[in-house]
Amino acid sequence: MKKVIPAIIAILLIFIIGAAAFGRKIMDKYSYGTEYADLDEYYGVADLSVDGSDGGLVIVLQDEMVEECAVVSGGKVYFDFDTVAKYFNDGFYIDNYEQKLLYTSAVDTVEVALDDTSYYDAEGAHALNYKICFQEGEKLYLAADFVRKFANFSYDVYDRHMQVYTEWGIKKTYDIAKDTQLRIQGGIKSPILKDMKKGDVVEVLEQMETWSKVKTADSMIGYVENKKLVNMNTEVENPVTDWKPEEYQGNGLEGRVNLGWHAIYSTAGNDNLDSMMAEGKGINVIAPTWFSLKDAEGNYESFESARYVEKAHKAGLKVWGVWDDFNYCLNNGLPIVDTYEIFSVTTKRRAMAETMVAKATELGLDGINLDFEKLSGETRVHFIQFLRELSVLCRKQGLTLSVDTYVPVNSNNAMRFDIQGQVTDYVIMMGYDEHWGGCGEAGSVASIGYVSGGLDRLLEQMPAEKIINAVPLYTRVWKTEGNKVTDEAITLNNLDKYITGTGRREEIVMDDTACQNYLEWKEGEITYQIWLEDVDSIKIKLNVMATKGIGGVAAWRLGYGTPEIWQLLSTYTKMK
């Protein structure tokens, strides 16, 4: 018996130790964690400051922390330029050359010198008690209070973060039933963000089986147990509506536009007006190519004629003067003007806009048509600002503003078609040159898929009534010899004669993909191909345009068409 007792005691000790260990595991598993999160690390505030600032703030936008941040300087909150453009208003513009911040509305331009405490508009100077914007490295920071003059949002600032609202609705709130903790994740072991007291109110963002994602009164987002939530309530949020943007009052035509470009390369070209009007029966707008840039100072060549305008008006036509960035240089064997040097400098850009409007007013023009086809990638943002500023001047003078553009290849084109559609009266899609002269690849000048797809991409970003599609009154004959592909342009008024000359009219077939008549033949080792622009192809394009409800048609150019084609265009513009 004496030998048994020690064994029993040993077994009991093992059992007690095992039970204690098991109990500790159970306690560890089911007891609440007491570790507090390092909030500096959680918010990453050490990485948010910039030189000269008082610190950084994580942005809680609506109900989530975003990757962008704000900084505090002189007791004021500042957002960087990209954050302002992304979340509040993308209408601000930086002139790095003259060190200015601009904002152009439908009626005016607000201007601020960097590091200044005053801004300027048509009414004069407006002094504020804080620095409106400042540069730090490659970033420009804008005061949140200044941005609120051009966007509707609210914000509240806390220790390491700020709450920003740009949208408002109905939120669901609960009271905290008893003291508890807000945790980073749903789970009793998750680190604690803050202690919650009985009676605290939280907004429930997402409710799960045992935990809910909530936001506290000071906009900390975390998780609490559902059993700690009582007294559900709904609250209607009050939206901020202080900023009311001015409406863009357009100067568009009633009904559809039927525009014919009149290519004029000397003052003698104006003498062809009568014959051009006789050919283009049914047009309601004629656009003479009068003005072309000569240099980066904004000097230009002009073939203008007040008599031309007077005669066109008597014939019932509107006259839109065309400005381009290439004809003068190409015709004189000079390098194309670097328009970046004009559009990126506010003084030059404004001078050009003022010159255009003054010239249009002097000549009695009804509108301005911009044909800037050589813009570099870095110039485009500045060209858009030019459009904004020019549109203000045109609106004040009652001038119709239109801008020509290539067929967009994607919906996110840097040309900002959404802004073009907002500030101009018409965006004219040059619905041709799918395959262009010298491109080295045979194909259609304007297949239906190319045209229709381009129009659809514009329709995603602007009203249909602001879109005009330009049709080509020419086609190309492609000649392939081995690996060499050359081409020749044929105007539609010469096409029938050309086809007759081939003696192959009976060989023309319909290309169902391009929706164009097609002719191909061989002469020895040379292959010839033509995708015809003719009555059939133009009619199909016009039917697609009518279905999409766009604002009109343009034609490149007067002098190239046939009576049948011009009749088609005239009929289209009268369709309902």
Bigger pLDDT: 54 or 459?
459
Give residues with Cβ within 8 angstroms of 336, minimum separation 6.
Answer: 325, 326, 329, 330, 374
Position 139 scores a pLDDT of 94
* Average pLDDT in the chain: 94
**Cα–Cα distance between 117 and 148 in angstroms, integer?**
16
Mark 469-493 as b/e (b = at least 16 C-beta within 10 Å): bbbbbbbbbbbbeeeebebeebbbb
Residues 425-484 pLDDT 10s:
999 999 999 999 999 999 999 999 999 999 999 999 999 999 999 999 999 999 999 999
- DSSP three-state, residue 239: coil
Helix ranges (H only) for 503-574 are 535-548, 563-574
User: How many other C-beta atoms can be found within 10 angstroms of the C-beta atom of residue 168?
Assistant: 15
Is the per-residue pLDDT at 402 higher than 60? Answer: yes
- Whether residue 557 is preceded by a cis peptide bond, meaning omega within 30 degrees of 0, is yes
pTM comes to 0.92
pLDDT at residue 51 is higher than 60? no
pLDDT at 308 over 80: yes
- What single string gives the DSSP state of each residue in 61-93? ETTEEEEEEEEEETTEEEEEHHHHHHHT-TTEE
CATH of domain 257-574: 3.20.20.80
Q: Which pLDDT tens digit goes with each residue over 6-36?
A: 666 767 767 666 655 555 565 556 699 999 9
Record the tokens describing residue 317, joined without a space. 């036509």
Q: Which two tokens stand for residue 267?
A: 């003052």
Take residue 524 and report the two structure tokens written for it.
Answer: 């020895």
How far is it, in rounded angstroms, from Cα 235 to Cα 507? 74
The answer, yes or no, to whether residue 205 has pLDDT greater than 70, is yes
**What's the CA gap between 289 and 270, in Å, rounded?**
10
In the chain the first and final C-alpha atoms are separated, in Å, by 114
For residues 4 and 424, the model is more confident at: 424
The CATH number given to 168-236 is 2.30.30.40
- Give the Cα-Cα-Cα angle 132, 135, 138 (nearest 5 degrees): 145
Q: What is the pLDDT of residues 242-280, one digit of tens each?
A: 999 999 999 999 999 999 999 999 999 999 999 999 999
Enumerate the β-bridge partners of residue 550. none
Every domain of the chain and the residues it spans: 41-157, 168-236, 257-574
CATH topology of domain 41-157: Copper Amine Oxidase; Chain A, domain 1 (3.30.457)
Q: How far is CA 438 from CA 99, 331, 409, 505, in A?
A: 42, 18, 20, 26
Tokens 């008893």 correspond to 178
Q: 55: pLDDT confidence band, cut at 50, 70 and 90?
A: confident
What single-letter amino acid sits at 80? D
Q: What is the torsional sign of CA 265, 269, 272, 277?
A: positive
Closest CA to 99 of 69, 135, 75, 124: 135
Amino acid at 379: T
What does each C-alpha distance from 482 to 50, 521, 531 come to in angstroms? 62, 15, 20
- C-beta contacts of 380-385 below 8 A and 24+ residues apart: 380/414, 380/415, 380/416, 381/93, 381/414, 381/416, 382/340, 382/343, 382/344, 382/349, 383/339, 383/343, 383/415, 384/415, 384/416, 384/419, 384/420, 385/93, 385/102, 385/104, 385/343, 385/349
Give the C-alpha separation, 431 to 422, whole Å: 21
